[in-house]
Amino acid sequence: MEKDCIFCKIIAGELPSCKVYEDNNFLAFMDINPAVRGHTLVIPKHHCRNLLDTPDNIGADFYPVLKKVANACKAAFNAEGIYIFQQNEPAAGQEVFHSHVHIIPRYKGDDFGKHTPPRLKVEIAEIAKDAEKIAKHI
């Protein structure tokens, strides 16, 4: 638990939240500034800054919880799809520094998430070089 972390305060019951799921290791609650109705956050109870420093044992248990909450959001809001994303560090848009995943109901024709940068045109040889760079760090 981090003293100044808003999500740690929610876990501890020091701040209110609209909980949708809780177990020993994870908590899911409604985003108080939702992109759309049903926008839900899923967090580990163990404080970690983001995915990049989440312990492997927590990460392994995260996916089934995300699936459970995503299916519930899809059913509850009659969504045609679910957008699941996570941001790591300020350059990627992370604002709360406690690992969390956004689950957002989606519908055909909605305009959410349509404002992504254009795709690059990169030769396959350059893509292969990029793959080698990444692989060296694994």
Number of residues written out for the chain: 138
**Catalytic residue numbers, as ranges:** 100
Rounded distance between C-alpha atoms, residue 42 and residue 40, angstroms: 7
If you ran DSSP here, which 8-state letter would residue 13 be given? T
CB 30 within 8 A of CB 39: yes
The distance of Cα 103 from the centroid of its chain, to the nearest Å, equals 7
What residues does 124 pair with on adjacent strands? none
Name the residue with tokens 């967090």: 43
